[in-house]
Amino acid sequence: MTSKLLYAFASALFISKLVIVQAIREIDADFADPCVIQVGDGYYAFATRLLRELMSGTDAMPRPFPAWVAGAPAIWAPGVIQGDNGTFVMYFSASSSQDASKHCIGAATSSSITGPYTLERNPHACPLDQDGAIDANGYKDGDTYYVVYKVDGNSLDGDGTTHSTPIMLHGLNSDAISPNGGAT
């Protein structure tokens, strides 16, 4: 069963201290792994497989891909944040050129929310010995940027054992890309 995303860009009515929110359907499609970011007075939504269609045929991450990305990559779960310098950073999962069944976390940057995004030369996280990493998202807490992602160990479970799937947190510098210490 395909669930439809009820996109909750909400309109609000303020009455005293009471807020009434009315959800409206903005995108009536399979909108997997959504990310929504507010820029100025507008909202921008990113999702697996729909970036191209929603941006009128524009690919937010044009080719060529760096060497660590598989030739016909499976790319999903974009997460976008804006760094202190105004640059937009998109974190994403991409299949690895070393083993296309496993994913690594990459980052790409753009001066515009709508792209195009330029991919970083190296992956941000690529624990292939733990079956890769997926579903990255960036955020800022105080003055510090972080990227959080999941180690995809559960995709190894078919061998009759259970593998861990830790959620990793990695501190970043003010550019929201370069690591500040190791992931925990």
Domains and CATH numbers, the chain: 33-172 (2.115.10.20)
The 10s digit of each residue's pLDDT in 106-119 is 999 999 998 888 98
Task: Specify whether the CB–CB gap between 153 and 130 falls below 8 A.
Answer: yes
User: Reduced to 3 DSSP states, what percent helix, strand and coil does the chain have, rounded to the nearest 5?
Assistant: 10, 40, 50
Q: Show the tokens assigned to 90.
A: 């998109």
Instruction: List 90's β-bridge partners, or say none.
Output: 80, 108
- Laid out side by side, the sheet with 144-151 consists of 133-141, 144-151, 167-172
Q: What is the pLDDT of residue 71?
A: 82
pLDDT tens digits, residue range 135-164? 999 999 999 999 999 998 877 667 777 878
Q: Which pair of structure tokens corresponds to residue 5?
A: 């995303």
Collapsing DSSP states into helix, strand and coil, what is residue 154? helix
